Amino acid sequence: MRFATTIDISCDKPAELEKTLQGEIGSHSSERSQMSLMIRKGSIIINIEADDVTALRAAFNSVTKLISVHQEMEKIR
């Protein structure tokens, strides 16, 4: 069984969010899960695929934590 989810984020500056996420997605190499990132005009799409639910949840939590940090940093700016 294979599990997958997609996170679609609408934002004004997708390139800035990409910089925040690229380190995690670029360095994320696991036998159990894979992540990819795609930028479209005004949005970022993150695809996560995993062999099991636990690996999917771990990758999802990792990405959403970075999104939260980025969002808080944007409020400070």
Q: State the pLDDT confidence band at 12, using cuts at 50, 70 and 90.
A: confident
pTM metric for this prediction: 0.84
Alpha helical stretches, state H, 1-77: 14-27, 53-76
| Local confidence band at 15 (pLDDT 50, 70, 90 cut-offs) | confident
36: phi then psi, degrees, rounded to nearest 5:
-140, 155
pLDDT of residue 28: 63
Name which of 67, 54, 71 is nearest 25 in CA terms.
67
- The confidence score (pLDDT) of residue 38 equals 94
Sign of CA dihedral 27, 33, 58, 55: negative
The class that CATH gives domain 3-76 is alpha beta
Which candidate, 5, 3, 66, 70, places its Cα nearest to that of 36? 5
Higher pLDDT, 25 or 62: 62
Residue 59 backbone dihedrals phi, psi, to 5 degrees: -65, -45
